Structure 1
Amino acid sequence: MLNSRDIIVKPIVTEKSMGVMEENKYTFKVAKKANKIDIKKAVEDIFKVKVLDVKTMNVKGKVKRVGRSLGRTSDWKKAIVTLKDGDTIEIFEGL
């Protein structure tokens, strides 16, 4: 079983993710093997908030060119976590 800090890799800070923060939804890059239950427990454990819903999606890596050769970035998993009204995550507040 993965540790809570291993499940949540990093927060995703984009224009779109900042827009859904007003709906109390936060976006994270998570471990590929983590399921919704693991993600919910990890967010509640790390940030001390109440999670209502977790939506996950697998993001395909993009094809990148390096000189003459083609490569590919890694596939990864994204989770959008909905929190209870009144709960916030502090790392996003200063942005």
Structure 2
Amino acid sequence: MDYTKIIIRPVITEKANLAKEYLNQVSFVVAPGANKIEVKRAVEAAFGVHVEAVNIVRRRPSRRLRHGRTIGKVAGFKKAYVTLAEGDKIEFFEGV
């Protein structure tokens, strides 16, 4: 699979920014069928960094309720926490 089909978008949240600063981890929303090996190869190919570890978390789809009735659903997704090697960095917003 091409890395553009595996990595969908980066996760930009407070938790992700803290993990980036203190743990040298970067978070991405990835394709639902992607595994750890594919995510590792995709990040190394896309950004030219060395990846030490990949942890994957799946968020299941959930129902939206109002007054006990289902009014819709929230889509699920797969998120990957990628630990980079010492000295490697991925900057999403440089100079902003």
Question: Does the pair score TM above 0.5?
Answer: yes
What secondary structure, in the 3-state scheme, does the structure 2 residue paired with 1:40 have? helix
Q: How does 1:1-95 map to 2 (within 5 A)?
A: 2-22=1-21, 23-64=23-64, 70-94=71-95
Q: Which amino acid aligns with 1:57?
A: V
How far residue 93 of structure 1 moved from its aligned partner, in angstroms, is 4.8
Alpha-carbon distance in structure 1 between the residues aligned to 2:56 and 2:40: 11
TM (normalized to structure 2)?
A: 0.86
**Off by >3 Å, runs of 4+ in structure 1:** 92-95
TM (normalized to structure 1)?
A: 0.87
Alpha-carbon distance in structure 1 between the residues aligned to 2:70 and 2:56: 32
Unaligned 5+ runs, structure 2: none
Alpha-carbon distance in structure 1 between the residues aligned to 2:95 and 2:11: 14
Q: Deviations over 1:38-62 (max 9, x none)?
A: 0000000000000000000111234
How far residue 71 of structure 1 moved from its aligned partner, in angstroms, is 1.0
Aligned residues: 93
How far residue 31 of structure 1 moved from its aligned partner, in angstroms, is 0.2
Alpha-carbon distance in structure 2 between the residues aligned to 1:57 and 1:65: 24
Identity value in percent:
41
